[in-house]
Structure 1
Amino acid sequence: MKQTLKILVVDDNEVDRMAVRDALTKAGLQMELFEVSNGNDAFSALSTTAYDCVFFDYRLPDQHGLTFIQQLRSSKIKVPSVVLTAQGDEQIAVQLIKAGATDYLSKSKISPEMLVQVLRSAIRIYWAETQAALVNQQLRESHEQLIRKNQELERQQQQIQMQNFKLLEVSQLKSHFLATMSHELRTPMNAIIGFSQILFRSKFGQLTDQQADMVERILNNGKHLLMLVNEVLDFSKLEAGRLDLKAEIFDISKVINLAVGEMRSLADAKNLSLLVQTDLQNTLVFNDPVRIKQILINLLSNAIKFTESGEIWVEVKELPASRVTIVVQDTGIGIAPRDFKRIFEAFRQVDQTITRKYPGTGLGLAIIDSLVRMMGGKIFLDSKLESGSMFKIELPRQITLFTEAADAPAIQLDGDEIYSSAKNPHHSSSKTR
């Protein structure tokens, strides 16, 4: 409670006002006491001055106490108010408290002790109600802010969804464009490669050394360009979910030796040793031989591209739980740990500048990663700058594909059941159960 209180007494009866004044004085309160005799004067005083408490008779000459309380509330005048009632008017006092009064006191019970007790109680109640109202107002404002924020978040979410739809549409258009252009480019590229090979045949005439060199360059560049086009086509199919594995039983060691044989000339051109070690008790697997060869050629191509001296070796080994692992290791420039994840991203290369030393689409490892995942396998990378890289692929000996041919007959591969076409039990391009 403040040290000096401002108190207003509203009563048309001078004797009643004096009783209140004497009781407050005897209580020893430090106060400034103001007195008025009617509701209009009280309202004017409360409109211009802040009081700590007001005592008022519920029967004023110009208006009823209930009207007075309602007038204060409508004018948003807030002050602790104590109704002074006659004996037996407790029910009326209760109605006034419901209307907004803080407390009431019977005039017959006015005493210094009782008046101080009611005064302190009224002020505490008023401030408690004020704080509660303030907290409620803050809660309402916070609730309204949350509603506005939720509305804003919903609006932003709708915008993000619309942007995602647009991005998805653009991505689909991009994939369709890449697939169409890649397909269209393959036809003239195959013709260039085919005619270049024809020119090397002796029945069409002997080429001079200079002519042979130019034709060989055309052939090699044509093959390289076709490989890049095929990478873009494969990636667009993978991205659109339209690339299927054509599984069959085959000798994985033969496919690996074939891929190594195709890449050996590139290794020889850089004086790199290319070694192969196969340690398999059973070389038969059920997978897509074309894609296995593609994975290995991509890994070998990268190893040769990024290795200036030393050796490259391929190792194929058995793993527990009917799995095999293919390891391609080199002594090349290596990869920094921070780039391990980035190199498997589409169109991503460690050197992104237009003047980079090592060309390529940046799709090779992304395609390998997607193909290995489709086969139910995993790919691991271990590398150190200036020390070389090791790519290790773990694959199930028998991949599992899903098809409508759930009743396809089973055949055996050294104890492993493999589902294949009924027409050709030894060569299956159908999908497994």
Structure 2
Amino acid sequence: MKQTLKILVVDDNEVDRMAVRDALTKAGVQMELFEVSDGNDAFSALSTTAYDCVFFDYHLPDQHGLTFIQQLHSSKIKVPSVVLTAQGDEQIAVQLIKAGATDYLSKSKISPEMLVQVLRSAIRIYRAETQAALVNQQLRESHEQLLRKNQELERQQQQIQMQNFKLLEVSQLKSHFLATMSHELRTPMNAIIGFSQILFRSKFGQLSHQQADMVERILNNGKHLLMLVNEVLDFSKLEAGRLDLKAEIFDVSKVINLAVGEMRSLADAKNLSLLVQTDLQNTLVFNDPVRIKQILINLLSNAIKFTEHGEIWVEVKELSASQVTIVVRDTGIGIAPRDFKRIFEAFRQVDQTITRKYPGTGLGLAIIDSLVRMMGGKIFLESKLGIGSMFKIELPRQIRLFTEAADAPAIQLDGDEIYSSVKNPHHSSSQTR
């Protein structure tokens, strides 16, 4: 052992103490050796000084070794301890080890080799036990911390749950309020639009150019406001799960052309070309024509709004006998990749400022996304800033309504099952400007 050890020998027999000292010296142990003759002096020494090991005789004059070990233990004095026993006291030494002693050695076996071996073993065992105790203490502290954290997490979870309940209640109240207000606003808005249209009729007198311009402004702004109100109403119904699809068999190309016709004046006002191409072997679908038209009008409205010059294309074609796709392309400002997901969120717009150039509720694409998913379809977006955007919607030719039975028969179109190939297809391919 290279380091200098502090060793305490406790024995009332000076010869036995000398034997320990000589054996350690002959073994070459670098040490500071201290000697006391009874347990009380040993306890006082151990209370004030840290020792690397203590050798003590089991038969002390003032107390026996078991009492000495118990006294150290109760006083929380920790030190490697070796019991020196007489011949035949091995059984007693085992009891001392159970009480807290580190090791024992018969006095008859004291030799430099044996003593240094016991010393090293005692120090090694003590350090291992100390390390194990430290690890156990750390584990207990970690366990207590985990328990406290779990309790805190449970408390936070309860708070979050309560907040979620409150938020859900607020959301339901908000949806109910939006639905109620939207419904109440539609009545006066329809009246404004209706009376504005009546004023244009000649039987009520010819309007001056200035009067006609003002009435037209009232009519256009009324229609725009009604569209915004309808968006809020549709969104509140979608959010509450109260919007149902009213499916029927219809000619999708006619609905597409009707929607494009309604939006053409807005495109013409910005000198934008609006092209339509329909390429369908079978133009009949089973879906909600009102919602299909709404989807296309919203897409065209966005395309026109965000396109300052160039063209807008609408393309309708078949992916297969059971699927159709509607594509709207524009040469507008484009969308950054980081905003691809955000623009489908309700009330979300790329420019959220109140001074933004392009107005709107931010509900159009959210409504489109919800309607497409209700129809069992998918929506895809491709866009580059400064070049333009492309929205592609893939829809089943025949949607399934939630009220349909699982074993309901397939809808028949022109005598053929909608999912089968058409023997005498009605082909429609046209391009208009």
Normalising by the residue count of structure 1, what TM-score does the alignment of the two structures yield?
0.92
Closer, same or farther: CA 47–431 of 1 in aligned 2, 3 Å? farther
- Cα pair 1:175 1:236 within 8 Å, conserved: yes
Instruction: Quote the offset at 1:67 in angstroms.
Output: 0.7
Following TM superposition, by how much is the alpha carbon of 1:400 offset from its aligned partner in structure 2, in angstroms? 1.2
More deviation in 208-217 or 73-82?
208-217
**2:85, 2:108 → 1: CA distance?**
9
What is the CA–CA distance in structure 1 between the aligned matches of 2:19 and 2:335, rounded to whole Å? Answer: 97
Rounded Cα–Cα distance in structure 2 between residues aligned with 1:294 and 1:430: 22
Deviations 1:372-407 (A, max 9, x none): 111111112222223222211111101112216557
Q: Kindly tell me: are residues 3 and 249 of structure 1, through their superposed partners in 2, closer, same or farther at Cα, counting changes over 3 Å?
A: same
**Secondary structure at the counterpart of residue 193 of structure 1:** helix
Q: Deviations over 1:262-287 (max 9, x none)?
A: 11222222222222211111100000
Name the CA shift for 1:371/1:420 in 2 (closer, same or farther; >3 Å): farther
Work out whether residues 97 and 103 of structure 2, in 8 Å CA contact, stay in contact via their aligned partners in 1: yes
Give distance in 1, aligned partners of 2:53 and 2:36. Answer: 14
**How many Å apart are 1:61 and its aligned residue?**
1.7
CA distance in 1, matches of 2:170, 2:423: 43
Distance 1:135 1:416, change over 3 A: farther
Q: Report deviation, 1:210.
A: 2.4
Give deviations 1:346-387, integer Å, cap 9, x for gaps.
112222222222211111111111111111111122222232
Cα pair distance change 1:147/1:432, threshold 3 Å: farther
Quickly say closer, same or farther: Cα 1:149–1:12, change in 2 above 3 A.
same
Structure 2 residue matching 1:319: 3-state secondary structure: strand
CA distance in 2, matches of 1:18, 1:350: 92
Q: Which piece of structure 1 moves more, 177-186 or 329-338?
A: 329-338
In 2, are the aligned partners of 1:246 and 1:429 still within 8 Å (CA)? no
Task: Count residues in correspondence.
Answer: 433
Q: Does 1:39 align with 2:39?
A: yes
After superposition, what is the alpha-carbon deviation per residue over 1:61-101, rounded to whole angstroms, capped at 9, x for unaligned? Answer: 21121110000011111111111111111111000000000
C-alpha displacement of 1:331: 2.2
Does the aligned pair in 2 maintain the 1:316–1:327 contact within 8 Å?
yes
Q: What is the CA distance between 1:177 and its match in structure 2?
A: 1.4
**Greater mean alpha carbon deviation, residues 14-23 or residues 403-412:** 403-412
Cα distance, 1:296–1:61 mapped onto 2, change above 3 Å:
same
CA distance in 2, matches of 1:430, 1:164: 53
**1:215-273 deviation digits (Å, cap 9, x = unpaired):** 22211111110000000111111111111111110010111111111112222222222
After superposition, the CA RMSD in angstroms is 5.1
Q: Distance in 2 between the 1:132 and 1:113 partners?
A: 28
The equivalent residue for 1:207 is 207
Higher relative contact order (CA 8 A, sep 6+): 2
> Offset of 1:47 from its aligned partner?
0.7
SS at match of 1:88: coil
CA contact (8 A) 1:411 1:419 kept: no
For residue 196 of structure 1, report the CA deviation from its aligned partner: 1.4
How far apart are the structure 2 equivalents of 1:135 and 1:290? 71
Q: Distance in 2 between matches of 1:328 and 1:64?
A: 99
Q: 1:272 to 1:133 in 2, by over 3 A?
A: same
Alignment gaps of 5+ in structure 1? none
Alignment of 1:13-92 (within 5 A): 13-92=13-92
Change (3 A) 1:418 1:240: farther
CA distance 1:53–1:75, shift in 2 (3 Å): same
8 A Cα contact 1:376 1:399, kept in partner: yes
Are residues 300 and 65 of structure 1, via their aligned partners in 2, closer, same or farther at CA, if it must alter by over 3 Å?
same
97-106 or 48-57, which moves further after superposition? 48-57
CA contact (8 A) 2:276 2:314 kept: yes
Secondary structure of 2:429's aligned partner: coil
* CA 187–89 in structure 1, closer or farther in 2 if over 3 Å, else same: same
Deviations 1:6-25 (A, max 9, x none): 22121222332233233333
Work out whether residues 56 and 82 of structure 1, in 8 Å CA contact, stay in contact via their aligned partners in 2: yes
Change (3 A) 1:204 1:292: same
Contact kept? 2:85, 2:104, Cα under 8 Å: yes
Mark the runs of 5 or more structure 2 residues left unpaired by the alignment.
none
Query: What secondary structure sits across from 2:326 in the alignment?
Result: strand
Query: Match of 1:284?
Result: 284
Q: Which moved more, 1:383-392 or 1:360-369?
A: 383-392
Relative to 1, partners in 2 of residues 1:104 and 1:414: Cα closer, same or farther, differing over 3 Å? Answer: farther
Q: Which runs of 4+ in 1 moved over 6 A?
A: 418-433
